[in-house]
Amino acid sequence: MTEMVLSGTTSPVPGTGGLSGSLESAAVRHPAVIAAAAVLGAAALAGCGSQGVAAPTPETVIGTVSTAPSFPIVPAFRVKGDPKKGSSLYASSGCGGCHTLAAAHSTGTVGPNLDALKPNYRAVTAQVTNGGGPMPAYKTRLSKQQIADVSAYVVESTGGTAP
């Protein structure tokens, strides 16, 4: 049964409990339900009127949080390096072409300024062994002892932390 609306009002459809024909049609009912569900879902996702911003981290940190990168322990780390031998290795291996190190009179800018960085022995042995970024790995070019020597030289020259 179809109803035509001419006056702007609709009359109830028989047997529908007083609903108008326009609200009983499936074409109107399904989008209305979907729209109502979307509005309720959006309200639930918006936090139901909660105030403030939820933060996943606490405002107070108890203890210390390490911000320094963690370097692996490489075989050269377990070897005692000789800074005097490391000085000549630093020069002959071309380290000064990329790094600034006052003790070696090197002013390279491709890698970090070692004087400013003041790296510890673990970091230097790992970086020289494995490389990283633009720095090549030296594990196939230098022995464990040579890596330990150049690392000891860098750490001693910069005032970094020895093992």
What's the pLDDT score for residue 128?
A: 97
CB 81 within 8 A of CB 153: yes
Global pTM reads 0.59
Greater pLDDT, 55 or 143: 143
Does residue 140 fall inside a structural domain?
A: yes
Number of domains in the chain: 1
Does residue 104 fall inside a structural domain?
A: yes
Does residue 6 fall inside a structural domain?
A: no
Does residue 21 fall inside a structural domain?
A: no
Q: Which domain holds residue 85?
A: 75-158
Does residue 27 fall inside a structural domain?
A: no
> Residue 146: which CATH number?
1.10.760.10
Does residue 5 fall inside a structural domain?
A: no
pLDDT tens readout for residues 30-59:
677 777 777 766 666 665 555 656 666 666
